[in-house]
Chains A and B, each alone.
Chain A
Amino acid sequence: MFAYYFNLALRSFKRNKALTALMVLAIALGIGACMTTLTVFHVLSGDPIPQKSDKLYFVQLDPRTRQGMQPGEEPEDQVTRFDAETLLREKRADRQAMMTGGGVSVTPQRKELAPFTASARYTSADFFPMFETGFLYGGGWSAKEDGNRARVAVISKSLNDKLFGGANSVGRQVRLDQADFTVVGVTDGWKMNPRFYDLNSDRYGGAEEVLLPFSTSRDLEMSRNGSMNCWGNTGADATDLNAPCVWIQYWAELGTPAKAAAYRDYLASYSEQQRKAGRYERPANARLRNVMDWLDYQRVVPGDVILQMWLGFGFLLVCLVNTVGLLLAKFLRRSGEIGVRRALGASRRAIFVQCLVEAGTIGMAGGIIGLGLSLLGLWLVRQQPSSYAKLAHLDPGMLLVTFALAIVASLLAGLLPAWRAMQVTPAVQLKTQ
């Protein structure tokens, strides 16, 4: 039966080429626009580290003065160096890492390469197992190197290619900010999108090219970047241990929900203890958010992208309403034919199904063309300058969604016209013939 209806649908297309082409075009345009924007949204709102996003927690504390305090206020997005170093020392989580972004100058040994700047992350030993960096050569450093302010560095695959021509550089020297560092590891093209561990700078860029111990970076007074919030007198250097400034991201890995709950209590009691010691002035106000909660709280998906997605859906809706109108015109124009079929014994149900098959076929054609349009759209998105643009690719899941959306949308558009077509009374139609 289905094959027969499908055949009828194809015949009907042939009879009404312009009208059919219009409907296919409308659905294709709507699907193309909608899927392009939806794919970008899907890519950007994804889970950057699915295997453990519910085990990694971002720590927020509230070390500010009472001045300007408002009830129910969120704490600062970052922590002070004093708090970060204390929490790191107390080691209450399964793993923990403090970090900040920065930039270093790299002086290559090869004379033909001019000195250049590289993005850097100053962090502590647990960073590597926590964020599953993976290594091409070597590995991370240990807590001992953190304590010793050791001159060790982990470099990215791309920097290794640039400096050492891709060879195993573990044990070799690299000159950063006029100091010599020993390479202990080369990451294997590791990157996170979004870069959830530090959302202060480029949220969808690649990973840092150089990673080195936080303690070493302070020892050498290397330049840092990202946001910094200070209150009160910062003294000569806002990155001093006791400066009243937040500028460090602190992450804790907690294997079970029970451990997370215990860690929350620990943060509360830590805050209370700091308040008693006179360092904190506000009542305990700590937060512990896992990766997805943190991304949500930080509204990591750019507003433009969400806006474009809604625009895409709005456009699809306009296209669908058009298709409804055109299908209605098409089906009712065939009232005579439907009347004959009804008089020959076709049930209302059969007419309804036949009309829906025709609508679904249009949806399928629209979906195929729409898929082409969304590939074109995504290609256009990738030509954009934003750092996230390069990520816009259609994955198999979204491919299925495209077809499902096209067919569901066209069936929905076909419902009303098919309903109307099924109401055609054979007697009236036969009389006017």
Chain B
Amino acid sequence: MDIKPILSALGRHRVAALLITLEIALACAVLCNAFFLISGRMGLMRIDSGVDERSLAAVALNGCDGCNAADVNGRALAALRAIPGVRGAGVVNALPFGQRAGDAGVTLDRDGKHFGGVPHFYAFGPSAVETLGLRPAQGRGFVPGDFQRADNFLPADAQVWITRAFADHLWPGESALGREFWMGDYHFRVAGVLAHFARPNPGRSEDGLASAEWSVVVPVSDDSLLGSYVVRADPADLPNVADAARKAMAKAVPEAVLDQAQSRPLSDLRREYFQRDRAMLWLLVSVIGAMLLVTALGIVGLASFWVAQRTKQIGIRRALGATRGDILRYYQTENFLLATAGIVLGMLLAYGGNLLLMKHFELARLPLAYLPAGAVLLWLLGQLAVLGPAMRAAAIPPVVATRSA
């Protein structure tokens, strides 16, 4: 198809042509960035917590500050283990998607000069490590001597596990095993590396998505912790077990108050944690949908107008021997040209918009793969929108040309 006559025809309708181009450009810019935001949220919502959430439930107590930890934990764990279907129970300081216990900045040297990042510190008793089923992918497991008593937050000197994500951040390309890091006066040595273990607030901590799995697991004795527990059961039994655990705890530790919101299966905590992201996701999807609809309708409107305006021209072309297919292809090619111009402009806008988003919302750079995807979508949309008016144009019989003169 010869595009030269199309271009010269467009030249006589500069304003309308420019408007369609602009419409597609704006749609392309919003589309690419919205897709990018969606994929970011979906990535976060799919995060691997590193534990089997379907078979774990949290139980949390409040207001037991003066209590004796060994005594309360003894009663609590005994009560939890007595529930039919429970396969294990342990003492924890925090769990993924639960309340966080301690984020703290670490340094790679004793003097605190070389800053490493802000991971979340999990403190787990031997019962918790076993209940959660945590096993390092590299390095060694904890031995009984590793679980030390901690009177003030954490032991002063500990062998710890860190996640692969945090290890790669601290020592990129090197083995983390045996390496040391500090947090003020506390000293840690890496005994093992976990493949995955999310922090309690993945994606919402200081470093955002990048630090979603910056976790450190510090082994402590069971009586160093108080008030938060985890139970394991078969996924089928878990809802009943979680209910029974809430009741059993209220009976076993009457001096404390059960935290209803935090005492739930981990899968419930996860669902609630990501509720806001899900809402944002729906909003983005509906904006994209509405925008594509409006853009398509705009193209239909303008194309219909053109067809009406060029009725005579079409009639003459048909009288001179142009087939219906020729007329159809004319409008399709015209739309393709306009869409292409819009897409080129839109990509520049998308990139610029992304730079703005990066600056103000700490987003990552738009991957280039989004641009061709957006382009294909808009080409299809344009072709679809123009199809109706173009078919109507093709249906115009040559005789109209003589009549409307």
Partner-B contacts on A (CB < 8 A)? 19, 22, 25-26, 29-30, 33, 67-68, 103-105, 114-117, 177-178, 221-223, 230-236, 303-304, 306-308, 311, 314-315, 317-319, 321-322, 324-326, 328-330, 332-333, 384-386, 416, 420
Contacts and interface: CB of A to CB of B under 8 A. Distances in A.
6 contacts: A22-B301, A304-B276, A326-B298, A326-B301, A326-B302, A328-B15
Main secondary structure of the interface of A (DSSP, over half): helix
User: Which 5 residue pairs are nearest across A and B when measured between Cβ atoms?
Assistant: A105-B63, A329-B305, A322-B298, A325-B19, A385-B275
Given A104-B63, A234-B152, A384-B276, A321 B305 contact: no
B113 interface: yes
A329 B304 contact: yes
Given A105-B63, A177-B63, A315-B30, A230 B184 contact: yes
Given A315-B291, A325-B301, 17 more contacts: A25-B294, A26-B294, A29-B294, A30-B294, A33-B290, A116-B257, A117-B63, A177-B65, A304-B280, A306-B361, A307-B37, A321-B19, A325-B23, A333-B308, A333-B309, A384-B276, A385-B272
Interface in B3-23: 15-16, 19-20, 22-23
A326 B313 CA distance: 22
Given A306-B360, A318-B291, A384-B276, A311 B30 contact: yes
Given A233-B185, A311-B287, A318-B26, A385 B276 contact: yes
Contact of A325 (B29, B66, B287, B302): B302
A221 B15 contact: no
Contact of B295 (A105, A322, A385): A322
B106 to A, nearest CB: 12
A232 B151 CA distance: 17
Given A67-B112, A231-B184, A329-B304, A222 B65 contact: yes
B23 A322 contact: yes
B22 A117 contact: no
B279 interface: yes
B111 to A, nearest CB: 8
B295 A318 contact: yes
B291 A307 contact: no
B401 interface: no
Contacts of B297: 22, 25-26, 322
B19 A328 contact: yes
Contacts of B387: none
Contact of B290 (A315, A328, A333): A315
Contact of A321 (B26, B115, B276, B280): B26
Interface string B305-347: 1001100000000000000000000000000000000000000
Nearest to B19: A325
B283 interface: yes
A319 B291 CA distance: 8
B190 to A, nearest CB: 23
A178 B255 CA distance: 9
Contacts of B360: 303, 306
B177 interface: no
Interface of B: 15-16, 19-20, 22-23, 26-27, 29-30, 34, 37, 62-63, 65-66, 111-113, 115, 151-152, 184-185, 250, 255-257, 259, 272, 275-276, 279-280, 283-284, 287, 290-291, 294-295, 297-298, 301-302, 304-305, 308-309, 353, 357, 360-362
Contact of B65 (A22, A30, A221): A221
Nearest to A317: B26
Contact of A386 (B27, B276, B298, B309): B276
B59 to A, nearest CB: 15
Given A103-B63, A233-B185, A385-B279, A117 B257 contact: yes
B63 A314 contact: no
B257 A105 contact: yes
A222 B65 CA distance: 7
A325 B298 contact: yes
B30 A68 contact: no
Given A303-B361, A306-B360, A315-B290, A117 B279 contact: no
Which has the most chain A C-beta neighbours within 10 Å: B15, B20, B257? B257
A115 B61 CA distance: 12
A67 B111 CA distance: 8
A177 B66 CA distance: 10
A234 B154 CA distance: 12
A1 B246 CA distance: 75
B283 A105 contact: no
Given A304-B276, A304-B280, A324 B19 contact: yes
B151 A308 contact: no
Contacts of B34: 311
Contacts of B255: 178
Contacts of A30: 294
Contact of B301 (A221, A232, A329): A329
A105 B298 contact: no
A329 B259 contact: no
A213 B95 CA distance: 33
Contacts of A234: 152
A292 B16 CA distance: 46
A13 to B, nearest CB: 15
A329 B66 contact: no
A184 to B, nearest CB: 22
Contacts of B185: 232-233
